[in-house]
Amino acid sequence: MIVNQGSTITPRVLLLGGTSEASELARALAAAKVAAVFSYAGRTAQPLPQPLPTRVGGFGGVAGLCEYLRSQRITHVIDATHPFAAQMSWHAAQACAATGVALLALQRPAWTRQARDRWQSVPDIPAAVAALPREPARIFLAIGRQHIQPFLEAGPHHWWLLRVVDAGPTLPARQGVVVVARGPFTPEGDWALMRDHGITHLIAKNAGGQGGYAKLEAARRLGCTVIMIERPPQPDRPVVETVAGVLHWLGLTEEAHAVVT
């Protein structure tokens, strides 16, 4: 139970998902029998099933999200979306401010450059395109399918390794290959993939977390240059980095913490 303004309320949680932390939190909320709905954007054909009632698809902007919060009597929103899902985070902050629903973000810390890492940090996708090497290179583009085109158009003289979650994008054989795979990935697997394709450069988003870090470890081992796209601006709201932090914020018992530790 949660005590709020002198009254006790039973939480009804909207969990904005799409990351490994969101899935970990879903397991903890289900184990603690908290009333919660898991929400996917519907970006992939067959998202991982969740142990909570799940909705898929946009809300219809801020107004649609406000309507959802009211009609579903949501008391707490946990924004566990990916750090690059900035529009969703801004909409959640605006809708919670408008409706008075409590909001907390669950977000892993950004990756930091380690010794021997050859990173070139850029602020956004256009800057990453502008940072492409002049000389022909063999480039691993691992940022999903939404932003592939500007890179291919700017670098027709490069050879591309593309990794996407669902089949769809194609490349002429002389221009590169498309790998269809869903993370989390392993350092050995990404090292073998990048070695076998003679990769010289990697383009990545500073997503943080374990699921996408394997390619950075592989890049370090192979001496690849990394064009690292830093995170977009996020709204000002309370943020925790662990599932235990969310359970504490929800005032859940120690037993619930035990589920995730």
* Residue 34: partners with Cβ closer than 8 Å, 6 or more residues away: 11, 13, 250, 252, 256
Which residue stretch of 33-41, 117-125, 168-176, 187-195 sits at the interface with ligand NAP (rule: CB under 6 A)? 33-41
**Helix residue spans in 174-249 (DSSP H):** 187-196, 214-222, 243-249
Asked if residue 200 binds ligand 3Y8 (CB under 6 A), the reply is no
d(C-alpha 207, C-alpha 215), whole Å = 12
* Residue 241: partners with Cβ closer than 8 Å, 6 or more residues away: 106, 107, 108, 109
165 binds, among ligand 3Y8, ligand NAP, none (CB under 5 to 8 A by kind): ligand 3Y8
The correct pick among 11, 20, 50, 59 for binding ligand NAP (CB under 6 A) is 59
2 vs 55 by CB, closer to ligand 3Y8: 55
Which residue stretch of 3-11, 43-51, 65-73, 194-202 sits at the interface with ligand 3Y8 (rule: CB under 6 A)? 43-51
The correct pick among 11, 13, 15, 19 for binding ligand 3Y8 (CB under 6 A) is 19
Binding-site string for ligand NAP from residue 187 to residue 226, where x marks contact by CB under 6 A and - marks none: ------------------x---------------------
Question: Which DSSP helix (H) or strand (E) runs through 177?
Answer: strand 176-180
Which residue stretch of 27-35, 52-60, 93-101, 217-225 sits at the interface with ligand NAP (rule: CB under 6 A)? 52-60
d(C-alpha 96, C-alpha 157), whole Å = 47
The correct pick among 23, 36, 76, 84 for binding ligand NAP (CB under 6 A) is 84
The correct pick among 62, 165, 222, 240 for binding ligand 3Y8 (CB under 6 A) is 165
Quick check: helix, strand or coil at residue 180? strand
**176-180/201-205 β-pairing:** unpaired
What does the block give as tokens for 118? 């050859």
Closest distance between ligand NAP and the C-beta of residue 22, in Å?
7
d(C-alpha 82, C-alpha 96), whole Å = 19
Which residue stretch of 36-44, 95-103, 114-122, 218-226 sits at the interface with ligand 3Y8 (rule: CB under 6 A)? 36-44
Looking at residues 63 to 122 of the shown chain, list those that interact with ligand 3Y8 (rule: CB under 6 A).
82, 84
Closest distance between ligand 3Y8 and the C-beta of residue 200, in Å?
17
**Helix residue spans in 42-186 (DSSP H):** 61-71, 86-99, 125-130, 148-154
d(C-alpha 24, C-alpha 34), whole Å = 14
- How many positions of this chain bind ligand NAP (CB under 6 A)? 24
d(C-alpha 80, C-alpha 17), whole Å = 5
Contact positions vs ligand 3Y8 (CB under 6 A) = 18-20, 23, 40-44, 47-48, 82, 84, 142-146, 163-166, 182-185, 205, 207, 209, 211-212, 215
